[in-house]
A = this chain, B = another copy of it.
Amino acid sequence: SSSSAHCAPYSSRTHTCGSLTAGDAGARVILTGWLLPERKGKLVSFYPLKDSYGTTQLIVNHSEGATDLSALAKIPVESTVLIEGTVLLRPPNARRPGPTGDIDIQVDKFILLNPAGNLPFVPSNPHNLANDDLRARYRYLDLRRTALSDNLKKRSKVAQIARNVLHDQGFLEVETPVLLRSSPEGAREFLVPTRISKATTTDGETPDKPTFYALQQSPQQPKQLLICSGGVDRYFQVAKCFRDEDGRKDRQPEFTQIDMEMAFVSWGTSEASASADSDIWRIGGAEVRDVVETLIRTIWEKVEGVALPKRFQVMTYNEAMTRFGSDKPDTRFGLEIANITHLLPEEQRSVFENNGEVLECITVRKASEPEFLGASRACDINPADERITITKKNLSTWLCYTTHAALRGTSADALLHINEHLKLMPGDDIWLASRPQRPKGGSTALGGVRLRLFEKAQSRNEFTVTKDPHFLWITEFPLFTQADHDKDFLAKGRWSSSHHPFTAPMWQDIDTMYNGQIEAVRGQHYDLVLNGVEIGGGSVRVHDAAMQDYIFTRVLQLNEEEKSPFHHLLHALQCGAPPHGGLALGFDRIMAMLCNTQSIRDVIAFPKTSTGADLLFKSPAPISNEVLHQYGIKPVSTT
């Protein structure tokens, strides 16, 4: 049957399947689309005809005298057809809301453009989804599902809105190289071997060493060089980036970011005190903040019809860690963390203080947070945290029986003082954990508890989260950290940059840095958080070559080989680089949130699995040794 495709001239469609309305009644039309299952009536049959714009109902007359269209019934479902006919206004009781709901097409002629056969599943049936692997393998069929194709439409629309906003704000879109140089460690990079040109060898012999590009992980260096050049004042790019991160859930080896950089960004305000007052943008890069808020507000307004606040909330890293136990707090619910160290009697308190720790709790109140109480009781307890249910009986003793040995001797008086302060009542739950005084990394034990309570309460249908998106800037991160586990093989016990080595310190902390108090230096970094998910981040960059060199050499203690990929950046800073800063937004993640899906795979046309496999194109795949030889490489296993 596949030979019966129509390979000859045919008329152009006059309309799409989503465009006809009552106003078109009586018109002769030509439509093209995919034929969906017949609903057969006594006198007429109904067929939905679907294209990417919508669905229009066709009517075929079985009565005598009508054109014989019986062949239409024999066309396999999901075939493409062209139909000609007349637009009929439906009787009032048959009208349906939505586009094309007022009309049918009385068909009098059709052409089978291409018959469908051999379908592994029927995409027009959304209630009986095939399994993930099958749909990934036949992605071109799965994309026929309206749910998925709507995501692609929304993605295209959002990208265009973003580009228009940025162009309106004077940004230039500049393409930076995908084929870049690899860093000495090759961490998280994809390498690209280059074919060994015959021109570079004498008699077909292979040169000594094959050479490689690396795929860009982000356009960080190119964009800074672009701004340092002075040729571009405001840069952006919807940039494809590549990261070889094995086994991270819902990551893709290639992903897209809306990347930007601006010359002459501010370095903060001189008046701002060093106090920890919330909601103040003390660092530089306020211009970046303005642009990003405008961008996000415009997207939410045009795509979701939601008016976001003129300014997004700002919170320092320190406050976020203290109140929410997370550097990307979800502020759509309470359950804030309280530090109770200062409420402890001197003896107990000094144990924590001497350890450089604080004792914190989350209180789940029966009276005011009943929606989380069931979750609290049902939640798993991790080794780093513990839960105590307050009863009349343990009101004056509950702290004595925790896993913290130091708390065993807490007196009843002291505990009643704490109870009073926390307004604890029998029936409340209290979650307890200690943490280092200076918060480290991205979350604390109680930050984890908070999220577990939130998820559990939702899964128990006891808490419904607001639909209002909560945007939040986190600022004043520590500029340097002792390496966390997954970077340790690079850091070898040295300080490493919390984000990247180009982030500038807050001007208030520059002396602190030069004085060697590395742990106390705050960076001019900002993360944008939406509903507890980091959707973007950026910083004001170091523009002082001497400072950048100091950071590389003295703080991070990079050796010459490790510094070598940064030589051109150091030199560019010397050539009169302007102060500059920027940000990158995770476009796939933002789209997943706008499309209400958990997986970024649903907003990518041809995604890979979590292990990086492409089940449709069957990649990655082995390559013959003959081909590899052209690149001067061979499999390790070859002997």
Contact = CB atoms under 8 A, between A and B. Distances in A.
Given A2-B546, A114-B544, A144-B229, A620 B8 contact: no
A149 B634 contact: no
Interface string A226-259: 1011111100000010101011000001101000
Contacts of A229: 139-144, 149
A16 B233 contact: yes
A619 interface: yes
A254 B193 CA distance: 14
B192 A621 contact: no
A568 interface: yes
A622 interface: yes
A2 B544 contact: yes
Contacts of A270: 8-9
B622 A210 contact: yes
Contacts of A8: 267, 270, 507
A233 B32 CA distance: 11
Nearest to A253: B179
A583 interface: no
A192 to B, nearest CB: 5
Contacts of A93: none
A148 B614 contact: no
A78 interface: yes
A209 B194 CA distance: 20
Contacts of A53: 233
A145 B230 CA distance: 9
A605 B174 contact: yes
Contacts of A45: none
Interface string A601-612: 000111010011
Contact of A628 (B6, B13, B192, B633): B633
Contacts of A152: 172, 174, 231-232
A34 B578 CA distance: 9
Interface in A58-114: 76, 78-80, 113-114
Interface stretch (A401-409, A418-426, A437-445, A569-577): A569-577
Which 8 residue pairs of A and B lie closest in terms of their CB atoms, listed nearest first? A149-B231, A116-B576, A5-B544, A181-B619, A143-B229, A211-B620, A143-B231, A156-B172
Interface residues of A, number: 151
A152 B574 CA distance: 23
Given A175-B604, A177-B606, A621 B160 contact: no
Contact of A242 (B149, B178, B632): B178
Given A190-B192, A634-B633, A3 B546 contact: yes
13 contacts: A8-B270, A10-B267, A79-B576, A144-B231, A152-B174, A174-B605, A178-B215, A182-B619, A190-B194, A225-B606, A568-B617, A629-B636, A632-B637
Contact of A178 (B80, B254, B577): B254
Contact of A192 (B182, B210, B215): B215
A244 B614 contact: no
Contacts of A463: none
Nearest to A32: B264
A571 B222 CA distance: 41
A635 interface: yes
A208 interface: yes
Given A620-B194, A627-B186, A160 B144 contact: no
Interface in A135-193: 138-145, 148-149, 152-153, 155-156, 159-160, 163, 167, 172-182, 184-186, 190-193
A383 B634 CA distance: 45
Nearest to A510: B7
Interface string A530-544: 000000000000011
A127 interface: no
Contact of A579 (B114, B264, B617): B114
A212 interface: yes
Contacts of A510: 7
A174 B113 CA distance: 25
A181 B575 CA distance: 43
Contact of A186 (B143, B573, B623): B623
A544 to B, nearest CB: 4
A125 interface: no
A115 B628 CA distance: 49
A3 to B, nearest CB: 4
A242 B190 CA distance: 15
Contacts of A195: 244, 246
